Amino acid sequence: MPFELIPPNTNIDFIGKRYLCFFLSVAVILAGVIAIPVRGVRLGIDFAGGTEVQVRFAEGVPVEEGAIRKVVDDCGVVDASVVRFGELGATDYLIRFRAGAASKEPPESGSCPLSAENLKQLAAERLAAAGAEDGSNAQVQRLKLALGNKIGALEVQRVEFVGARVGSDLRRAALYSLGLSSLLILVYIGFRFSTRFAPGAVIALFHDVAITAGIFVIAGWQFDLTVLAALLTIMGYSLNDTIIIYDRIRENMTLHTKFDLGEVLNRSVNQTLSRTALTGGSTFMSCLALLFLGGPVVRPFAIAMSIGIVVGTFSSIYVAAPILLYLERRPGA
C-alpha cells in the first residue's frame, strides 16, 4: 500500500468555499495597496542608491546599536540606519545611508572620535577631500576608524555603494524585467491554452506576485535585486500548479459532459491535489533550508520565495480554478 498524503478519493468542496478565499485574497492585496502610501515602499540600495556597510566587531567587544548610531551620527553621516545583521549572537552590524549623504560638519571639528593620527592617515590616503564622486570610500574609512576608536576592534566585511544613476537604471531594469517576463508568460499561456483558460492563469499569476510584494510592503521589508529575482522566479514557478490543474480540467470537461462546471472543477482540483501539495511542498522545503541556513545575505530572497510558493500553491487551487466559473459558460455555473 503506497503512502498517500492525500487519499485518492478526497473530495473537498473548494469551489463552494471560493468566496471566503476570494475575500482573503482581495483583503491581502488591498492591504498591500493601502500600505504603499501609508508605509511606503522600502527600496534597498540597489534601487534607491546609497551605501551599506557590514562591520563585524571582534569577539568580546560590547556592542550596542545605539552606541554605533551615535558614532555614525557624530561623524556627520545623516539619516543612517544601524541594524544587527545575521545570526543570533553575531557581532555583525549593517550601517546603511543614502548615497553621498553629506557630512553635517567637517569631521575634524566635529565630535567624530578620530585621533590626529587617524586624520593624518586619512589625508595620506587622500580621502579627506574625496567627494561623492568617489563612491563612499571616504565615509566608510572614516566610520571604520571612528568606530574602532570608540567601540572596539572591528573589520569591514562588506561595502556596497550604488550611485543615484545606477540606482535609477536598476529600477528601470527591474520594471522592464517584470514587464518582459509577464509578456513572455502571457504569450506562452496564450499559445498553450485556449482563450477561455488563459485569463484565469494570468490572474492567478499576478495575484501571486501582488500578494508576495504586498506582504513585503506591509512588513516594511526592503526590495532589492534578490527580491526581484525571487518575484520573477515565482512568476515562472507558480504557473506550474495552475497548468496541472487546467490540464486536468480540460481532460475532465470532455470526459464528464454531464456534470456541471463546478463539479468538474472540484473533481479536477481534488484529483490533482496530491501533486499540487507535493511539488509545492518539496520546493517549499528547499526554500526553508535556504531561509534558515543560507545566511543573512540570501534571506530576503528566501523569504520572498517561501511566501510566493505558498501563495502560488493556494492560488492555483482557489483562484485559478474557481475563476473559470466566471469565464466559462456552462449550465449550472
Partner 1 sequence: MSGNLRVRLASVAATVLLLSYFAAANCFSEQTRLASPLIPDAGIRLGLDLQGGIHWVVGVKLDEAVAHELEFQRSALVEQLTADAVTLGATSVVDGRLRIEMPAGADVAKLNAWTQDRGVLTPVPSTDGVLEFTLSERWKKEVRERGMMQVLEVLRRRIEDPIQGIPDSVVTRQGEDRILVQIPGGQIDRSRARDMLKVTGFLEFKIVRETAQSEELLRAKHPNGLPTDTKIAFERDKESQRVLSAFLVGVQPDLTGDYLEDARVGFDNRQRPIVTFQFNPQGGEIFQKLTGEHIGSQLAIVLDERVYSAPVIRSRIGSRGQIEGRFSSAEAADLAVVLRSGSLSLPVAIEEERVVGPGLGADSITAGIRATVASFVAVLGFILFYYRFSGVYAGIALVLNLTMLVGLMTLFGATLTLPGLGAFVLTIGMAVDANVLIFERIREELRAGKTPRGSIGAGFNKAFWAIADSNITTMATALVLYEYGTGPIKGFAVALAIGILTSVFAALAITRVLYDIYPGDRHVETLSI
Rounded to a whole number of angstroms, the minimum distance from the CB of residue 168 to partner 1 is 11
Asked if residue 29 lies in contact with residue 77, where contact means CB atoms within 8 angstroms, the answer is no
Question: Is 318 near partner 1 (CB under 8 A)?
Answer: no
For CA atoms 158, 300, 214, 234, give the dihedral sign. positive
Q: For residues 42 and 171, which CB has a smaller minimum distance to partner 1 in the complex?
A: 171
| Residue found by looking up cell 571639528 in the block | 109
How far is the C-alpha of 245 from the C-alpha of 265, rounded, in Å?
A: 9
How far is the C-alpha of 52 from the C-alpha of 162, rounded, in Å?
A: 9
Q: For residues 103 and 279, which CB has a smaller minimum distance to partner 1 in the complex?
A: 279
Question: Is 244 near partner 1 (CB under 8 A)?
Answer: yes
Site for partner 1 in 217-236 (CB under 8 A): 225-226, 228-229, 232-233, 235-236
Question: Is 151 near partner 1 (CB under 8 A)?
Answer: no
Q: For residues 71 and 302, which CB has a smaller minimum distance to partner 1 in the complex?
A: 302
Residue 325 cell numbers, joined:
466559473
Question: Binding string to partner 1 for residues 7 to 46, with x set by CB under 8 A, is what?
Answer: -x-------------------------------------x
Q: For residues 31 and 203, which CB has a smaller minimum distance to partner 1 in the complex?
A: 203
Site for partner 1 in 254-283 (CB under 8 A): 271, 274-275, 278-279, 281-283
How far is the C-alpha of 150 from the C-alpha of 75, rounded, in Å?
A: 12
The DSSP code sequence of 209-234 is: HHHHHHHHHHHTPPB-HHHHHHHHHH
Rounded to a whole number of angstroms, the minimum distance from the CB of residue 296 to partner 1 is 8
Rounded to a whole number of angstroms, the minimum distance from the CB of residue 215 to partner 1 is 19
Torsion of CA 30, 31, 36, 37, to 10 degrees: 90
How far is the C-alpha of 208 from the C-alpha of 190, rounded, in Å?
A: 19
**Candidate ranges 33-41, 106-114, 212-220, 292-300; the one touching partner 1 (CB under 8 A):** 292-300
Q: For residues 155 and 260, which CB has a smaller minimum distance to partner 1 in the complex?
A: 155
Question: Is 289 near partner 1 (CB under 8 A)?
Answer: yes
CB atoms inside a 10 Å sphere around CB 46: 23
Question: Is 305 near partner 1 (CB under 8 A)?
Answer: yes
Q: What are phi and psi of 151, to 5 degrees?
A: -110, -50
CB atoms inside a 10 Å sphere around CB 243: 16
Site for partner 1 in 177-206 (CB under 8 A): 177, 180-181, 184-185, 188, 192
Question: Is 108 near partner 1 (CB under 8 A)?
Answer: no
Question: Is 312 near partner 1 (CB under 8 A)?
Answer: no
The DSSP code sequence of 58-79 is: PTT----HHHHHHHHHHTT-TT
Rounded to a whole number of angstroms, the minimum distance from the CB of residue 13 to partner 1 is 21
How far is the C-alpha of 281 from the C-alpha of 285, rounded, in Å?
A: 6
Rounded to a whole number of angstroms, the minimum distance from the CB of residue 19 to partner 1 is 29
Rounded to a whole number of angstroms, the minimum distance from the CB of residue 275 to partner 1 is 4
Rounded to a whole number of angstroms, the minimum distance from the CB of residue 333 to partner 1 is 25
Q: For residues 160 and 328, which CB has a smaller minimum distance to partner 1 in the complex?
A: 160
Q: Any idea what DSSP says for residue 189?
A: H
